[in-house]
């Protein structure tokens, strides 16, 4: 619909579905065999409700909001007439061909479609009538009044047969409104059972032979019930208000399921003998729901059964409710890295899913005092809340990630073409500025390697003296390789700047690790006692100076590096760094060759001794 849909019906032969909506007021007819729209007609005023008089779409009557009743046939509008008062509901009594219209009056208007004239109205005791219904088996007419009563009339004798005081059984002493609840929905189920909906959100099931309800169901919303339908095969009741459609057992009142939506419901239509239901809502698209457990799909959409069968056969556990996601580093810290490749770990993206019970057990073993620290932190926070400091500085910044919060506030103050939401006020990111576990650690290797460009934002801030001295030392220790890759003077592109920053951070981290390893080696070297044959050899300083004077190409050729030329004149150098841990393949082959040669060469010392003699 262009705006909203107000009511929806299905024809008795099950071949057509008709719906009305606004704006402009219109009616649409859908052919289920072709799964397409058969026709669309615009109307003069909004439709309150409508009834399909024939088995198909050829005879329809509309009750409009301007007191007009409009009849349509296959080719278009047939006739239009007016009723004395504004109508609220309408029903058709087939045995007598009477069209019954109720509204803002105590009279029930009867329009006989066989004679084409109005008959004497029924005069009720109600001031206003909200809804009406007819029993298809014995033809009893019931009317729901504004005062909370249901009156039953027999069309054969044209007299009132009884009155039900429904408001007496659903009224509550704590009900917010001073007036009694009114009747807003009526529906028969068979010859003897009747469902009544009230404006207080109650649904009452009656046996028409008794004045007391069999069951009272409360929607707990305190909003009027708009529609009641019965599922005869499964003994379920559909009750709808503006917020929810509840499906429940008519014998026990036990809830089966709920259907909710982000927009309000206006009307409900249940396809008989199936699990399909359709709703007219306050939106452009009408909603259709299929519940396989309530019945099969209609013949014109039998493919829904195939879809549900495929979903059941291919059902797989994609959400791990009882599993914890951990990275490889967390596995190493917990001591669970030996479980890699087993069924206890399920690889996913850049980490693994592990059973939450195993995770908690390993966490308690790896950090046994974590709970004690958590208790102390909570106690400290509670004490700080009860005893706040006397001097407070209101800077509107959180305690956690203050620098990030200040940066977000600064960016929010700057005018932009597209304004983004404030993360400080967003509930989804609330824990980022409250939970200390989300504190950004700038000293971590991951932060320094993944965010090297952020260092340019800190250039405007004064740097500490220790950092300045460290940068000067790094500048003095630059070797020929660093000068070779240093192209800051040649180009100022963002890519080159980013690469230089990344290399710089790598070098700082590598030097720090090397210093830590050297300190550990010094500690172990002090305690270790060497034998004379196994004493560490000193490095010849003169030899080191000679090597450092050679060019980069000579050193790469000597170390057995290879230069590969690629497409477009690009060249790629492959070499292995010297050291005890890194030994090239050529060196390994030569060492193996020398050992084999020593075993094969014969000794000649005894020959020299004989010649001397």
Residue 457: exposure state from Cβ atoms within 10 A (0-12, 13-18, ≥19):
exposed
Q: How many C-beta neighbours within 10 Å does residue 171 have?
A: 15
Residue-level pLDDT at 408? 78
Alpha-carbon span 190 to 566, nearest angstrom? 85
- Longest Cα separation, the chain: 158
With 90 as the cut, is the pLDDT of residue 278 above it? yes
Least-confidence region, from 184-193, 231-240, 285-294, 530-539: 530-539
Q: How far apart are the first and last CA of the chain?
A: 123
Instruction: State the Cα–Cα distance between residues 32 and 455, nearest whole angstrom.
Output: 64
What's the confidence (pLDDT) of residue 525? 53
Q: How far apart are CA 392 and CA 394, in angstroms?
A: 6
Q: How confident is the model at residue 109, as a pLDDT?
A: 93
Is 60 exceeded by the pLDDT of residue 246? yes
Whole-model pTM: value is 0.52
Q: Return the closest-CA partner of residue 330 out of 345, 341, 320.
A: 345
277 DSSP β-pair partners = 270, 289
Cβ-based neighbours of 19, under 8 Å, separated by 6 or more = 1, 5, 7, 8, 9, 27, 28, 30, 280, 286
pLDDT, tens digit, 9 for 90 and up, residues 378-410: 888 888 777 765 555 556 777 788 778 887 777
Which is more confident, 255 or 408? 255
Residue 523 has pLDDT above 70, yes or no: no
- pLDDT reported for residue 503: 78
Nearest Cα to 232, choosing from 191, 178, 284, 174? 191
> Of 381-390, 411-420, 532-541, where does the model show the most confidence?
381-390
353: CB partners within 8 A, 6+ apart:
320, 323, 324, 325, 345, 346
- Give me the domains of the chain, ranges plus CATH numbers: 4-309 (2.130.10.10), 555-563+571-593 (no CATH)
pLDDT attached to residue 306: 80
Residue 578 has pLDDT above 90, yes or no: no
pLDDT of residue 511: 80
**Residue 172: predicted pLDDT:** 54
Q: 183-189 and 159-165: which strand pairing?
A: unpaired
Q: Is the pLDDT of residue 17 over 80?
A: yes
Separation of alpha carbons 554 and 548, rounded Å? 11
Query: CA-CA distance, 586 to 550, in Å (whole number)?
Result: 21
Q: Quick one: pLDDT at residue 437?
A: 77
Q: What is the pLDDT of residues 434-467, one digit of tens each?
A: 887 788 877 777 776 766 655 555 554 555 544 5
pLDDT digits 0-9 by tens, 185-227: 999 998 899 999 999 889 999 998 888 899 988 888 889 999 9
Bigger pLDDT: 119 vs 416: 119
Please state whether the peptide bond connecting residue 23 to the residue before it is cis, i.e. omega within 30 degrees of 0: yes
Residue 390: CA count within 13 A, CB half-sphere: 0
Residue 549: enclosing H or E segment and its boundaries?
A: helix 541-549
CA distances from 122 to 64, 98, 484 (A): 21, 12, 103
Q: Which has the minimum average pLDDT: 222-236, 330-344, 546-560?
A: 546-560
Gap between the Cα atoms of 227 and 242, Å rounded: 10
Find the helix or strand (DSSP H, E) in which 215 lies: strand 215-218
370-386 helix and 356-366 helix, angle to the nearest 10 degrees: 80
> Tens digit of pLDDT for each residue in 470-485?
555 554 444 444 444 4
More confident residue, 104 or 502: 104
């Amino acid at each position: 619909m262009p705006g909203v849909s107000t009511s929806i019906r299905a024809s008795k032969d099950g071949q057509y579905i008709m719906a009305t909506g606004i704006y402009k007021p219109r009616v649409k007819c859908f052919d289920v065999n072709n799964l397409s729209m058969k026709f669309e007609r615009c109307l003069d005023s909004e439709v309150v409700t409508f009834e399909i008089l024939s088995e198909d779409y050829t005879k329809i009557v509309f009750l409009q909001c301007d007191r007009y009743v409009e009849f349509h046939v296959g080719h278009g509008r047939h006739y239009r007439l007016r009723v004395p008062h504004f109508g609220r509901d309408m029903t058709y009594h087939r045995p007598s061909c009477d069209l019954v219209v109720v509204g803002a009056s105590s009279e029930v208007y009867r329009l006989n479609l066989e004679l084409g004239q109005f008959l004497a109205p029924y005069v009720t005791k109600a001031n206003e009538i909200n809804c009406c219904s007819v029993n298809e088996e014995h033809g009893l007419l019931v009317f729901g009044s504004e005062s909370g009563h249901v009156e039953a009339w027999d069309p054969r004798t044209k007299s009132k047969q009884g009155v039900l005081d429904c408001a007496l059984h659903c009224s509550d002493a704590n009900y917010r409104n001073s007036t009694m609840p009114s009747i807003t929905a009526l529906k028969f189920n068979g010859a003897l059972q009747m469902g009544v909906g009230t404006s207080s959100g109650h649904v009452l099931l009656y046996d028409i032979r008794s004045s007391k309800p069999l069951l009272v169901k409360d929607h707990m919303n305190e909003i009027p019930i708009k529609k009641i339908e019965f599922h005869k095969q499964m003994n379920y009741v559909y009750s709808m208000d503006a917020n929810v459609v509840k499906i429940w057992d008519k014998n026990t009142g036990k809830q089966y399921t709920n259907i909710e939506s982000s927009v309000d419901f206006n009307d409900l239509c249940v396809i008989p003998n199936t699990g399909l239901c359709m709703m007219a809502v306050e939106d452009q698209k009408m909603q259709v729901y299929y519940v396989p457990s309530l019945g099969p799909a209609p013949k014109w959409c039998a493919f829904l059964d195939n879809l549900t069968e495929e979903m059941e056969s291919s059902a797989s556990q994609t959400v791990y409710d009882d599993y914890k996601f951990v990275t490889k580093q967390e596995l190493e810290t917990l001591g669970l890295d030996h479980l890699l490749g087993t069924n206890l770990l399920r690889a996913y993206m850049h980490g693994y899913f592990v059973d939450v019970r195993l995770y908690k057990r390993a966490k308690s073993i790896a950090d046994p005092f974590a709970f004690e620290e958590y208790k102390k932190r909570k106690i400290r926070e509670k004490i700080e809340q009860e005893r706040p400091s006397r001097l407070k500085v209101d800077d509107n910044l959180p305690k956690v990630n203050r620098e990030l919060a200040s940066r977000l506030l600064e960016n929010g103050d700057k005018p932009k073409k597209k304004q983004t939401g404030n993360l400080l006020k967003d509930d989804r990111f609330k824990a980022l500025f409250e939970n200390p576990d989300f504190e950004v650690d700038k000293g971590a290797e991951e932060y320094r390697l993944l965010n090297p460009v952020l260092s340019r934002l800190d250039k405007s801030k004064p740097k500490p003296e220790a950092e300045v001295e460290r940068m000067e030392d790094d500048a003095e220790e630059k070797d020929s390789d660093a000068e070779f890759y240093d192209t800051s003077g040649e180009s100022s592109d963002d890519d080159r700047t980013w690469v230089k920053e990344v290399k710089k951070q790598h070098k700082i981290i590598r030097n720090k690790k090397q210093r830590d390893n050297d300190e550990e080696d010094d500690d172990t070297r002090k305690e270790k006692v060497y034998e004379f044959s196994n004493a560490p050899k000193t490095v010849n300083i003169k030899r080191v100076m000679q090597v450092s004077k050679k060019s980069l190409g000579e050193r790469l050729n000597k170390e057995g590096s290879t230069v590969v030329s690629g497409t477009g004149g690009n060249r790629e150098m492959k070499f292995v760094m010297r050291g005890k841990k890194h030994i090239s393949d050529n060196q390994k082959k030569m060492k193996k060759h020398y050992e084999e040669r020593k075993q094969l060469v014969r000794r000649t010392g005894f020959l020299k001794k004989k010649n001397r003699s």
